[in-house]
Structure 1
Amino acid sequence: MHLVRPPGVYRAADDTSLLADVMRRGGYARGRRVLDLGCGTGALALAAARAGAASVTAVDLSLRSIAATWLNARAHRAPVVVRRGDLFEPVRGQAFDLVLANPPYVPAPTPALPRHRIARCWDAGVDGRQVLDRICAGAVRALTRDGTVLIVQSEVCDESATVARMREAGLRAQVIERSIVPFGPVMRARAALLEGRELLEPGRREEELVVVEARRA
């Protein structure tokens, strides 16, 4: 599927494909109200629409990402509602059956999150969890009674912490999919940093991507 991707917008990669595949195979989107958090090009939003979602809302803080998702939805005739804002803020008071998230999760040199550079698409603080933890804490308020969250992340930012944070928020959570992929450009550039923090075995140049599912307890 061809997607418009302006400069500064995240290119859909292995993590996006893994999450979309889990969603399709599990029938998570069919007939459901879907929220795509941090939509980028809109790849997940469009995948949900194609998988039979009753409605799809896409949210991103980046104006370029919002524009890209809007254009791609129109080009593929997908009925996606696009909202600009910080995570759940643009949909406050609404409830969704499925929340999809492929957030920034790469550990960065500093805790400061970039706002106006392409690195904002992957930098997530020193431990890679600045955005993940906010999603874990806020997702329960955006779910219907039988709603589900699907998050994709790397092993380097600790999937057990995601499961624990979801459980602390009152959700039942577990890892439901794993996939080992070669490093992309960002992870290759951060390899020495990750090794120095003992988040990566010396010389290793592949990572395990995981999909975490969370439901209301």
Structure 2
Amino acid sequence: MPAKTTAKVNQRSKHSVLIVDDHPVVRQGLAQLINQEKDLEVRGYAEDAFQAMQAIKDVQPDMIIVDISLKDTSGMDLIKDVKIQYPNLPILILSMHDESLYAERALRAGAKGYIMKHEATERVITAIRRVLAGEIYVSDSMAAKMVSKLATGIAPQNASPIECLSDRELEVFRLIGEGHKTRDVAEKLHLSVKTIETYRAHIKEKLGFKDGNELFRFAVEWVNSEMKR
């Protein structure tokens, strides 16, 4: 699907938004929600990183909304690429993935906010407006966890063991849990099979697994639990 733009010359006073998500239903629903607001307008859509970078160039949005999981790469990689080329462009992550695991990573990568897709519509609009205003947005509970961690230097006692993984290791772990074989993961992340095998070895070591079967079972269980959120 080519990147789609919806520019309107007579609505330049509105804040323009670009949506990057590979699910058409999500894009359409989010666009409908945003376009109901008098001061906001969806100016374009993209379903992968390549389309997103092209759409940013064409549309020049005031902000972009990105999902963590995209077809050809991770939203985390897209954040980093956008911040290199467009350092002042605000990014809000809207995702089904647990914010306790991804929010801090997204902010470190350059995003200005993180909100989960199951949140109430008014919270999504609030997040958009705060990010447009130059503020950081996460949920109240996530903000409290981040402040506590910053103040004490200690992760919460109920922290997931997955948090010890690097961003790339977490992406490989998620793809394993989705059922992708090593070669498939390598192709999807544009890396060599040997590199993915190295990541798998690091993940097993960090999580204390004896073999690939244990890793696979745990990854599948984790992905399934994410889907139920």
* Bin of the TM-score, shorter chain as denominator length: 0.3 to 0.5
Say which structure, 1 or 2, has more relative contact order (CA 8 Å, 6+ apart).
Answer: 1
**Structure that is richer in helix per residue:** 2
Greater C-alpha Rg = 2
TM-score by length of 1: 0.33
TM-score by length of 2: 0.32
